Structure 1
């Protein structure tokens, strides 16, 4: 694995200072890190609400370094963001899913120059933690089949042999399991169910879905609702953005012959271990996540969200601002700010190289 390392976390308030002083190798000059920035204008974007905290941090730091630029990001959801980008209402979009090849070939992108391709950068990588509340237990090892059994309702008590056999040193109680899921449409649910279907399809026969596909369990609204339900219940288990795990117990997920706890490095590693989608233009870095990977050190339950832009714009100002903003987002500083603000996994050096090439080609 070729993962970026940071000596200390960066607070959002310090990001502007770092932008002015850093000479990090991965930072493009187009990021606007020069205090004498000549950039000006308004950049419009919008889309995935999963990116909201990261976008707020990115925008604040970028605007501090570029005081004559205004960046507006509306966290209206991936679908709306994609539609507005295609309609020409925004210069870039955030999306929890890349465009399919069919959507690209049949669609029109009004902000882009005629015959322009699009770029899709997996710039936001967030591990999804399996959290639980069982008295006296802080961590558990669970493979995909066991997780599928728990969340589908087939495994109903904490001392079930499927759980105890993987955790021989844990004093698991004869207590009912309450599996908590999102009651609203959710990209987190879609990614979690995609993992369960890919890694334990003989048990989890439902395809990936933004809505919870099985009866039973306890539904909760939003990430906060899931965390509250698990925290305030007994014998509860749920799934949520890893940045919200807090003091709850967490699961190390079975991968091959090992159990891998969530971490920034392991989340970034599953992206590097997965192939790019076939048949794409240069700069379109859509990932086919290999949720069933057995490669050492990967954490397969992640949400990967994209920044989508034109390779070539009709409007020169939109091109300049988009190129500068995306250059900052994928830089060391941008990724560190996102990690601090939203608990994301910084992209690896391998992915940065590909993303940087794509962004530098914007014109």
Structure 2
């Protein structure tokens, strides 16, 4: 299956049902989504266990990293619950959190948790109830590159930190050459490509550098790029396009976008040997993830993933959240949000791998569904 590049739709509200139709067209199979077993009657319960009540149209905004996953979730939701549709605006995680707080959308998609100064504002938006972070899918971050004649490239946290801070500037630098014995690296300039917009992918990439190369990465993390080297590009599709157009470049982007564009991406050496990015290697790292706290707010502690030295584990993985009100929605909105999330957590997971994501680990699903079921309303 080849996914359709939807980067050109940025900046406008995207009908994800339309995206999903394009995405799945040409696959030659409808196996990515279940056949609808629900009726259009308000409150009908689908075979997946989702209640199909509530309003028919839900809105969300945020992460470009999860936009293809959301498209697939929405396509399945429309089949399981006839007439349901989510409109998702992929403007970036920072914008999504802001629009959620401003009550302009029903929930936000974000690769990072709410910041400390946003937590109180989100609770106010939710009628005094806290907002919850619900991880629906994990997205590996690929280090996409454009080096003529180099089909295999190995990097590690130290070299990546120095590349994105401008301390390593040539592809044949001794530190890179030491990781790539037998590969002829060109005496060519390196052009790092970073996200110029507020991005959860940037935040996770920089958190990885902090954990994997604490002595080399002297900058902070955060949704804004701190490295100070290279050229910026807007959103995930922009990073891929910049890498494709710039010889000698390297950029961090979600695996699905790199695969869609046919751009090669590097292996990462965590100290236990070079690890190729696959579902299996990313899943091995995800197995080490733990929740940061108790209860229904499911923020993940990913530090153990970023700094892993487990053989065969690919460490550069982000968790993509839906940020929702724990309570405070009107009854129709609460029912519809819960319906969408339930379908996404159950039926929607099966099509994620082909879109470049790692499906939700089984050990998280039960707790996730408990949180979704606990979402309440004001009436």
Q: Place the TM-score, normalised by the shorter chain, in its bin.
A: 0.7 to 0.9
- Report how far residue 149 of structure 1 moved: 1.7
Any residues of structure 2 matched to 1:208-227 within 5 Å, and which? 208-227=221-240
Q: Is the 8 A contact 1:158 1:176 kept in 2?
A: yes
Tell me the equivalent position of 1:6. Answer: none
Tell me the number of residue pairs that the alignment of Structure 1 and Structure 2 aligns. Answer: 342
- Report how far residue 206 of structure 1 moved: 0.6
| Residue 319 (str. 1) matches residue 342 (str. 2) | no
| Residue 42 (str. 1) matches residue 36 (str. 2) | no
Q: Is the 8 A contact 2:92 2:197 kept in 1?
A: no
Q: Is the 8 A contact 1:31 1:326 kept in 2?
A: no
Any residues of structure 2 matched to 1:192-341 within 5 Å, and which? 192-245=205-258, 246-278=261-293, 280=294, 282-290=295-303, 291-313=306-328, 315-331=330-346, 333-340=347-354
- Report how far residue 346 of structure 1 moved: 0.8
Give, in whole Å, the separation in 2 of the partners of 1:38 and 1:210: 35
Give, in whole Å, the separation in 2 of the partners of 1:152 and 1:218: 12
User: Which stretch of the first structure deviates more once superposed, 344-353 or 210-219?
Assistant: 210-219
Tell me the equivalent position of 2:140. Answer: 127
Match of 2:76 among 55, 61, 66: 61
Structure 1 gaps, min length 5: 1-9, 23-28
Give, in whole Å, the separation in 1 of the partners of 2:170 and 2:288: 35
Distance 1:162 1:99, change over 3 A: same
Distance 1:336 1:109, change over 3 A: farther
What is the DSSP-based 3-state SS (H/G/I as helix, E as strand, rest coil) of the residue aligned with 1:135?
coil
Give, in whole Å, the separation in 1 of the partners of 2:196 and 2:86: 32
Give, in whole Å, the separation in 2 of the partners of 1:222 and 1:264: 23
Distance 1:223 1:21, change over 3 A: same
Tell me the equivalent position of 2:88. Answer: 73
Distance 1:100 1:272, change over 3 A: farther
Q: Is the 8 A contact 1:186 1:210 kept in 2?
A: yes
- Report how far residue 328 of structure 1 moved: 0.8
- Report how far residue 289 of structure 1 moved: 1.1
Distance 1:254 1:126, change over 3 A: same
Q: Is the 8 A contact 1:230 1:238 kept in 2?
A: yes
Give, in whole Å, the separation in 2 of the partners of 1:36 and 1:166: 49
- Report how far residue 123 of structure 1 moved: 1.1
Tell me the equivalent position of 1:20. Answer: 36
- Report how far residue 130 of structure 1 moved: 0.8
The alignment's C-alpha RMSD in Å is 3.3
What is the DSSP-based 3-state SS (H/G/I as helix, E as strand, rest coil) of the residue aligned with 1:132?
strand
Structure 2 gaps, min length 5: 1-20
Give, in whole Å, the separation in 2 of the partners of 1:304 and 1:57: 17
- Report how far residue 129 of structure 1 moved: 0.8
CA offsets 1:187-222 (integer angstroms, 9 cap, x no match): 322222221122112111111133332444333343
Tell me the equivalent position of 1:173. Answer: 186
Distance 1:242 1:57, change over 3 A: same
CA offsets 1:76-104 (integer angstroms, 9 cap, x no match): 44344434444555443322222357754
TM-score computed with the length of structure 2 as normaliser? 0.77
- Report how far residue 38 of structure 1 moved: 5.6
